[in-house]
């Protein structure tokens, strides 16, 4: 199966020769169709003054709470509204313990605290909790009842169950009454261990061939004993990264791994006593679409199915090289991983002349039973009922050769999704039943700058539906949890935890907006004329949802859009604001006679609108701005604004007074906020249009009711100076933001326009009808205006956004910037 392709992307498309890495790919960079900046009304934030590191979560849907572990605090929050704190428990470190910690060289206020790292459900009334306890980990049992969180006071040694260092990544899992953990077992963090804490504790060997400076990521339990014809055992899968032993590199090379152990493994009788006899590992392959070192796994989510054979692991990867800003999501079938471990070949170390050890594929005969396998019906037939009965030959083999030769390949042959920019950090996946009766896996992916992206795969096309900013200030998302039954995603960071609905259908204000969003959670209710959640609604035939095609043909025609009148002053420069309806759309401008306007000596088309240079009498007329989005061979047009430029022969004193009066009365406008202005800018409320403009025949999507227009009148400067400035821009003189070769042709360049987050940037909504628009009228010779209240975004070579004060930007978007120890 070939990897899915992203929808038409406006990001940089790599050349064909770059689409080679560890495997051939066809995926493009995926761009969120819509970007929603921080809106506190849609989100719920919980944090408490003086408390940090909200990084551990346990959903107790049966008790209606989200248990949240932070630094020296545990909270029980209302699962429906996390701002409601039902209970709190403060588990602080004693002063003596802090002093002991500092004597060992750790920081008193940072390291020598109790960071809650483990929260697991033991039974309906009891939880198991562990904390770092100032580099002396300890665990206890806890209960929540009658609105109180209570520690039972049955403290246990936490070594091997919880990390010493609060900033070391680790993973743990509770299966029945047994705790599986992957962490470092010593103070120095030099002895990694994968441990099962139970009546028969079992752990890994302290050998670099087992674990070589690992970073533990995730653990998952798969009930493979269910309906197993061979009488197999359940498995616990561990995802981590480590320094590779099998590659002969000058410096250390990190690779991503998946390992597994059998649930009923009891260790060996003589060899591997109290050690795993079933520990095997393999490399995870997730090739990025550029020549690069193997990417590193950052998070894994198991999308479970009633039939465990159909369960899928979703994993987030980032580059190990700082020169790349790519991230990827790959999916792995449980069956595919199982086949590699059950039937694949092993690697074996061999000595070479240089005294180094080289790992090669083992081609000899395997001992019986197969090394690393669980006890099955076949083994039971010959009297081997537990791992204690395994022969030494089998155990010696797996002790020295735990690594498989074959890598685990992605389910789709390559990444499901590839992004460029801010790194992806965490992932959860929800199964969503759509109106077409199909179940779609929807991914929620956290980023390094505090956004959550929602993505889904439709018939081989990967669509990032939207991205939502969760924190007002950028905060790396360190934990993601999903409650499918309640319809919320919970995101944790150092700063606090945010509750976000899986979908906000109300953002889509029209039928075509709702349909083109292609969100399986939402459909357009024809009877109610609103975009409504699918779950729990019985729409019948009175709903429109077209996920794979985005077909808006059942939508009613759009309302007429109002024409905004603008005075045209000869020899002035005029800015007409207009933005594309989505990140995947282009902006097309048309004049009265139907001509398509392109960037050139007369016009400049940029991301925020149209710049009319040195206006003349001939420029009077209608200017129409269309947002054009292409989907599966169809074009969807939406008129975003229409301006009627009417000739003005100058303003007399009376007219100037009227203009000032209108300026004083005009409300602030956020439309076109990336357009430069000066402190002398005047904003007026444009008059109501004389008559509505009906939807044009060349479009097939609805029209918006209008935009507000801002008018900035600047002092007149010589036209010759302006012409000289444009010439200087064209030849690439000192202006940093000027592209070589003069103004760009938007028609040719739009498909490769880059995309990035713009902090606190006003997003143009298309569900509100506005009868006015903002227009910038610039005096000749002033194509660039400074205003410290605005900011622009500039893109570096790696696609990372760099924010600059507008005061330092020399020209508009189109003129060069885009605004837009040990035994246990």
* Per-residue H/E/C for 253-321: CEEEEEEEEECCCCCCCCCCCCECCCCEEEEECCCCCCCCCCCEEEEEEEECCCCHHHCEEEEEEECCC
Whether the per-residue pLDDT at 387 is higher than 70: the answer is: yes
298: confidence class by pLDDT, cuts 50, 70, 90 = very high
Question: What's residue 355's pLDDT?
Answer: 60
Question: What's residue 247's pLDDT?
Answer: 87
State whether the Cα torsion 342-343-345-348 is positive or negative.
positive
Question: What's residue 2's pLDDT?
Answer: 56
Q: For residue 490, which of 82, 74, 60, 76 has the smallest C-alpha distance?
A: 82
Question: What's residue 459's pLDDT?
Answer: 84
Instruction: Give Cα 199 distance to the centre of its chain.
Output: 41
Instruction: Look up tokens 């403060």; give the residue.
Output: 90
- Asked whether residue 336 is domain-assigned, the answer is yes
Question: What's residue 99's pLDDT?
Answer: 94
pLDDT tens-digit map of 701-711: 333 333 333 33
Q: Name, of 12-21, 215-224, 527-536, 550-559, the range with top average pLDDT.
A: 215-224
pLDDT tens-digit map of 600-621: 999 999 989 999 999 999 999 9
pLDDT tens-digit map of 26-49: 346 899 999 999 998 889 999 999
Contact 588, 596 (CB under 8 A): yes
pLDDT tens-digit map of 622-674: 999 999 999 988 999 999 999 999 987 554 444 444 434 433 433 333 333 33
Asked whether residue 244 falls in the same domain as residue 339, the answer is: yes
pLDDT tens-digit map of 238-251: 999 999 999 877 78
252: confidence class by pLDDT, cuts 50, 70, 90 = confident
pLDDT tens-digit map of 498-512: 999 999 999 998 999
Region 271-298: what's the mean pLDDT? 93
Region 279-291: what's the mean pLDDT? 92
Asked whether residue 375 falls in the same domain as residue 516, the answer is: no
1: confidence class by pLDDT, cuts 50, 70, 90 = low
Give percent of the chain with pLDDT exceeding 70. 75
pTM of the model: 0.79
Q: Report how many domains make up the chain.
A: 3
User: DSSP for 173-223?
Assistant: EEETTEEEEEEE-STTS--EEEEEESTT-EE--S-TTT-SS-EEEEEEEE-
450: confidence class by pLDDT, cuts 50, 70, 90 = very high
- Asked whether residue 49 is domain-assigned, the answer is no
Asked whether residue 629 falls in the same domain as residue 732, the answer is: yes
Whether the per-residue pLDDT at 473 is higher than 90: the answer is: yes
Contact 576, 567 (CB under 8 A): no
Query: Strand pairing of 461-469 and 451-458?
Result: antiparallel
Which residue(s) pair with 568 in the sheet? 647
Asked whether residue 713 falls in the same domain as residue 659, the answer is: yes
Question: What's residue 817's pLDDT?
Answer: 29
Residues 6 or more apart in contact with residue 241 via CB below 8 angstroms:
214, 215, 217, 254, 255, 256, 257, 296, 297
pLDDT tens-digit map of 99-133: 999 999 999 999 999 999 999 999 999 999 999 99
- Asked whether residue 218 is domain-assigned, the answer is yes
Question: What's residue 300's pLDDT?
Answer: 98
24: confidence class by pLDDT, cuts 50, 70, 90 = very low
Asked whether residue 756 falls in the same domain as residue 696, the answer is: yes
Region 521-545: what's the mean pLDDT? 86
Contact 159, 120 (CB under 8 A): no
Question: What's residue 414's pLDDT?
Answer: 93
- Asked whether residue 139 is domain-assigned, the answer is no
Region 381-397: what's the mean pLDDT? 95
Q: Name, of 250-254, 480-484, 549-553, 815-819, the range with top average pLDDT.
A: 480-484
Question: What's residue 296's pLDDT?
Answer: 96
Question: What's residue 292's pLDDT?
Answer: 82
Asked whether residue 536 falls in the same domain as residue 569, the answer is: no
Six token digits for residue 637: 């047009």
Cis, peptide link before residue 369, omega less than 30° from 0: yes
User: DSSP for 622-649?
Assistant: EEEEEEEEEETTEEEEEEEEEEEEEE--
Question: In 197-209, which positions are buried (b, 16+ CB within 10 angstroms) versus exposed (e)?
Answer: beeebbbbbbeeb
Last residue of a domain, one of 379, 413, 447: 413
CATH code of the domain containing 306: 2.130.10.10
CA distance 71 to 73: 5
Whether the per-residue pLDDT at 197 is higher than 90: the answer is: yes
pLDDT tens-digit map of 137-165: 999 999 999 999 999 999 999 999 999 99
Question: What's residue 540's pLDDT?
Answer: 66
CA distance 191 to 27: 39
Coil/strand/helix, residue 723? helix
- Asked whether residue 772 is domain-assigned, the answer is yes
Question: What's residue 520's pLDDT?
Answer: 96
Six token digits for residue 279: 């520990």
Residues 6 or more apart in contact with residue 470 via CB below 8 angstroms:
38, 43, 450, 451, 452, 477, 491, 498, 500
Whether the per-residue pLDDT at 434 is higher than 50: the answer is: yes
Asked whether residue 569 falls in the same domain as residue 537, the answer is: no
Which residue(s) pair with 694 in the sheet? none
Last residue of a domain, one of 374, 392, 413: 413
CA distance 185 to 197: 13
Element (H, E) at 655: helix 653-665
With 0-12 / 13-18 / 19 or more C-beta atoms within 10 angstroms meaning exposed / middle / buried, residue 397 is buried
CATH code of the domain containing 649: 2.60.40.10
Whether the per-residue pLDDT at 763 is higher than 70: the answer is: no
Q: What is the CA radius of gyration of the chain?
A: 31
Asked whether residue 655 falls in the same domain as residue 525, the answer is: no
- Asked whether residue 460 is domain-assigned, the answer is no
Asked whether residue 707 falls in the same domain as residue 743, the answer is: yes
- Asked whether residue 343 is domain-assigned, the answer is yes
Asked whether residue 629 falls in the same domain as residue 742, the answer is: yes
Contact 271, 9 (CB under 8 A): no
Give percent of the chain with pLDDT exceeding 90. 67
371: confidence class by pLDDT, cuts 50, 70, 90 = very high
272: confidence class by pLDDT, cuts 50, 70, 90 = very high
- Asked whether residue 367 is domain-assigned, the answer is yes
CATH code of the domain containing 537: 3.30.1680.10
Average pLDDT, the chain: 80
pLDDT tens-digit map of 769-821: 333 334 444 444 333 333 333 333 333 333 333 333 333 333 333 333 233 33
Q: Which residue has the higher pLDDT, 466 or 672?
A: 466
CA distance 349 to 358: 5
Asked whether residue 214 falls in the same domain as residue 341, the answer is: yes
Last residue of a domain, one of 391, 413, 435: 413
Domain around 525: 503-544
Asked whether residue 611 falls in the same domain as residue 748, the answer is: yes
261: confidence class by pLDDT, cuts 50, 70, 90 = very high
């Amino acid at each position: 199966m070939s990897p899915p392709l992203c929808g038409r992307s406006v990001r940089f498309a790599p050349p064909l020769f770059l689409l080679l890495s560890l495997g051939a790919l066809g995926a493009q960079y995926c761009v969120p169709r819509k970007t929603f900046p921080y809106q506190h009304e849609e989100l719920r934030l919980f944090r408490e003054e003086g408390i940090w590191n909200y990084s551990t979560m346990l959903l107790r849907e049966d008790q209606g709470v989200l248990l949240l572990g932070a630094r020296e605090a545990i909270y029980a929050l209302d699962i429906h509204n996390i701002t409601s704190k039902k209970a709190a428990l403060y588990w602080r470190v004693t002063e003596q313990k802090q002093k002991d910690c500092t004597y060992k060289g750790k920081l008193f206020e940072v390291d020598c605290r109790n960071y809650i790292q483990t929260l697991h459900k033991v039974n309906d009334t009891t939880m198991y909790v562990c904390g770092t306890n100032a580099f002396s980990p300890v665990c206890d049992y806890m209960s929540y009842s009658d609105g109180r969180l209570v520690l039972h006071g049955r403290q246990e040694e936490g070594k091997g169950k919880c990390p010493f260092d609060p900033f070391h990544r680790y993973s743990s899992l509770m299966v029945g009454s047994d705790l599986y953990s992957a962490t470092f077992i010593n103070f120095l963090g030099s002895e990694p261990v994968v441990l099962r804490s139970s009546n028969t504790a079992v752990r890994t060997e302290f050998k670099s061939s087992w674990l070589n400076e690992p970073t533990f990521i995730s653990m998952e339990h798969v009930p493979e004993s269910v309906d197993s014809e061979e009488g197999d055992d359940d498995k616990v899968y561990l995802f981590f990264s480590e320094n590779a032993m099998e590659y002969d590199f000058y410096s250390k090379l990190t690779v991503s791994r998946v390992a597994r152990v059998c649930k009923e493994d009891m260790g060996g009788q003589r060899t591997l006593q109290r050690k795993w006899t079933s520990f095997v590992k393999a490399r995870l392959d997730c090739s990025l679409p550029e020549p690069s070192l193997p990417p590193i796994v950052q998070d894994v989510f198991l999308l479970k199915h009633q039939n465990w054979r159909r369960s899928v692991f979703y994993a987030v990867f980032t580059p190990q090289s700082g020169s790349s800003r790519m991230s990827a999501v790959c999916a792995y079938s449980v069956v595919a991983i199982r086949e590699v471990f059950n039937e694949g070949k092993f690697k074996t170390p061999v000595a070479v002349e240089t005294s180094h050890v080289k790992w090669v594929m083992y081609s000899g005969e395997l001992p019986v039973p197969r090394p690393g396998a669980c006890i099955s019906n076949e083994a039971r037939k010959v009297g081997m009922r537990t791992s204690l009965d395994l022969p030494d030959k089998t155990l010696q083999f797996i002790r020295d050769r735990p690594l498989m030769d074959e890598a685990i390949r992605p389910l789709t042959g390559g990444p499901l999704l590839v992004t460029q920019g801010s790194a992806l950090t965490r992932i959860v996946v929800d199964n969503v039943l759509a109106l077409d009766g199909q179940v779609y896996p929807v991914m929620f992916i956290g980023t390094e700058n505090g956004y959550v992206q929602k993505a889904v795969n439709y018939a081989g096309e990967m669509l990032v539906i939207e991205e939502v900013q969760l924190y007002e200030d950028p905060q790396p998302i360190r934990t993601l949890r999903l409650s499918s039954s309640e319809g919320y995603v919970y995101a944790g960071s150092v700063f606090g935890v945010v509750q976000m609905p899986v979908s906000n259908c109300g953002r889509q204000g029209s039928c075509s907006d709702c349909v083109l969003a292609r969100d399986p959670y939402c459909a357009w209710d024809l009877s109610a004329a609103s975009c409504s959640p699918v779950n729990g609604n019985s729409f019948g035939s009175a709903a429109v949802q077209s996920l794979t095609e985005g077909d808006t043909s059942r939508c009613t025609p759009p309302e007429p859009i109002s024409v905004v009148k603008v005075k045209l002053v000869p020899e002035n420069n005029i800015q007409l604001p207009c933005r594309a309806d989505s990140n995947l759309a282009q902006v097309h401008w048309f004049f009265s006679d139907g001509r398509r306007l392109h960037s050139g000596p007369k016009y400049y088309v940029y991301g925020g609108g149209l710049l009319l240079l040195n206006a003349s009498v001939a420029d009077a007329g209608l200017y129409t701005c269309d947002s054009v989005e292409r989907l599966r061979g169809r074009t969807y047009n939406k008129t975003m604004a229409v301006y009627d430029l009417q000739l003005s022969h100058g303003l007399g004193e009376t007219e100037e007074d009227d203009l000032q009066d209108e300026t004083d009365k005009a409300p602030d406008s956020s439309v076109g906020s990336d357009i430069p202005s000066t402190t002398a800018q005047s904003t007026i409320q444009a008059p109501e249009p004389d008559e509505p403009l009906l939807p044009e025949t060349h479009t097939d999507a609805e029209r918006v009711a209008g935009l507000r227009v801002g008018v900035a009148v600047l002092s007149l400067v010589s036209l010759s100076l302006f012409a000289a400035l444009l010439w200087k821009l064209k030849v690439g003189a000192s202006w940093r933001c000027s592209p070589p070769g003069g103004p760009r042709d938007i028609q040719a360049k739009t498909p490769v326009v880059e995309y990035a987050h713009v902090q606190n940037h006003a997003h143009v909504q298309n569900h509100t009808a506005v009868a006015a628009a903002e227009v910038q009228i610039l005096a000749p010779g002033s194509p660039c205006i400074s205003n410290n209240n605005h900011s622009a975004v500039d893109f570096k070579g790696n696609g990372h956004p760099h924010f600059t004060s507008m005061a330092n930007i020399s020209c508009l978007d189109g003129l060069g910037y885009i605004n837009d120890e040990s035994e246990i």
